[in-house]
Amino acid sequence: MTRRLIRGDLERAVAAIQDGHLVAMPTETVYGLAADATNPEALARIFAIKGRPSNHPLIVHLADPEDFGLWAPDASAQARQLAAAAWPGPLTLIVPRSQAFPPEVAGGRDTIGIRVPAHPMARELIRLAGTPLAAPSANLFGAVSPTTAQHVADDLGDRLDPMSDVILDGGPCPVGLESTIVDCTTDPVQILRAGAVTATEIADVLGSATARASGPARASGMLASHYAPSCQVRLVDTADDAMALAAGTPGSRTLDLTNDLGRYARDLYGELRQADLDGVRTLIAVLPPADGIGHAIRDRLTKASAPR
């Protein structure tokens, strides 16, 4: 079954999207479960297959930065500045939702998250399909995001239809953590989710400070417990602390990639999944410094370790 779902060819994937089916597509951040963003029935299947509440908005993916004006005519000047600076790339901008998008894609909100992914296969798929693609991460709701086609098959292989849906294999995701989300409908803009594009970079582009997100969970990635594996995750500050804790914790494994933060981000979700596959009971993770992508790694580790 799973074998029939995973494919390397775009042609089948383009046809699937145009026929209202689903395609798990590689992006530079994580794999997304994509459907035509203008097709409410196809969108309903995304929510059903992920087990995602229908009021959790999806991110829409465009092929080219030039398409932003067409699909987000009311985007603020700041949104346009950020798009010009960071796209294609791991940055999602929340802007007013145009009538071109059905309410379903945005979980009923009047705003919408949009980004242009940097993965060539994703961009080619969107271009050839001829429509924006709505795509949440291609995992079950609340679980760890997939960074390989096999991860998607492990999570959703039984739920997708091997006759019509497609898992497009574009290799491992080069960034490994979900996009930075910036709400551009407020002034100052607010960072709703940390990612590879940092707050410092955003402030540099805008020439002004950003605000921290406030209010009740604005993005599902802001829920305290999210991105969680089955094993317990415990956080420590240093390799020495990890060693001491491991000595007194049977069935534990230590994760420490603090000497290479790019690799830490890239491998984090695969390591969380592997720990579960290997029956690890406690994963002891060394926190990276809060610098650059270290912010996003700390955020995901903290959520993976939250009580649940």
- Residue 32 interacts with ligand TXA (CB under 6 A)? yes
Q: Is 77 exposed, middle or buried (0-12, 13-18, 19+ CB in 10 A)?
A: exposed
**133-134 vs 59-61, strand pairing mode:** antiparallel
Report strand pairing: 91-96 vs 180-183.
parallel
Q: Which stretch binds ligand TXA (CB under 6 A): 5-13, 53-61, 149-157, 282-290?
A: 53-61
Please list, in sequence order, all residues whose beta carbon lies within 8 angstroms of the beta carbon of residue 209, skipping any fewer than 6 positions away: 188, 203
Closest CB to ligand TXA among residues 47, 280: 47
Exposed e or buried b per residue across 174-196, where buried means at least 16 C-beta atoms within 10 angstroms of its C-beta: bbbbbbbbbbbbeeebbbbbbbb
Query: Closest approach of Cβ 300 to ligand TXA, in Å?
Result: 11
Token pair recorded at residue 272: 């969380």
Interface residues for ligand TXA in 211-230 (CB under 6 A)?
218-221
Site string for ligand TXA, 135-154 (x = CB under 6 A): xxx-----------------
Which two structure tokens, joined as six digits, stand for 168? Answer: 């497009």
Q: Which of 76, 111, 131, 302 binds ligand TXA (CB under 6 A)?
A: 111
Q: Does 29 bind ligand TXA (CB under 6 A)?
A: yes
Tokens at 12, concatenated? 């089948």
Is the Cβ of residue 29 or residue 198 nearer to ligand TXA in the bound state? 29
Q: Which does 109 bind (CB under 5 to 8 A by kind): Mg ion, ligand TXA, none?
A: ligand TXA
Between residues 39 and 220, which has the closer beta carbon with respect to Mg ion?
220
DSSP for 10-37, written as a single string: HHHHHHHHHTT--EEE--SSS-EEEEET
- Give the integer Cα–Cα distance in Å for 273 and 267: 10
Q: How many whole angstroms from its chain centre is CA 147?
A: 10
Residue 94 found at the interface with ligand TXA (CB under 6 A): yes
Give the three-class secondary structure for 241.
helix
Partner from Mg ion, ligand TXA, none binding residue 169, C-beta < 5-8 Å depending on class: none
Structure tokens at 238: 């240093």
190 binds ligand TXA (CB under 6 A): no
Residues in contact with Mg ion, total (CB under 5 A)?
A: 1
**Position 137 contacts Mg ion (CB under 5 A):** yes
Regarding 27 and contact with ligand TXA (CB under 6 A), the answer is: yes
Q: Give the range of 50-58, 136-144, 167-175, 293-301 binding Mg ion by CB under 5 A.
A: 136-144
Q: C-alpha 222: how far from its chain's center?
A: 12
Contact in structure between 96 and 111 (CB atoms under 8 Å)? yes
Interacting partner of 88 out of ligand TXA, Mg ion, none (Cβ under 5 to 8 A depending on kind) = none
Using rule CB under 6 A, residue 254 touches ligand TXA: no
Q: How many CB atoms lie within 10 A of CB 278?
A: 9
For ligand TXA, give the closer residue by CB, 4 or 56: 56
Complex with Mg ion: residue 234 or 300, whichever CB lies closer: 300
Tokens 């993770």 correspond to: 285
Q: Indicate the residue among 93 and 280 with the shorter CB distance to ligand TXA.
A: 93
Which residues in this chain contact Mg ion in the complex, by CB under 5 A? 137
Which chain residues interact with ligand TXA by CB under 6 A?
27, 29-30, 32, 56-59, 90, 92, 94, 106, 109, 111-113, 117, 135-137, 178-179, 181, 192, 218-221
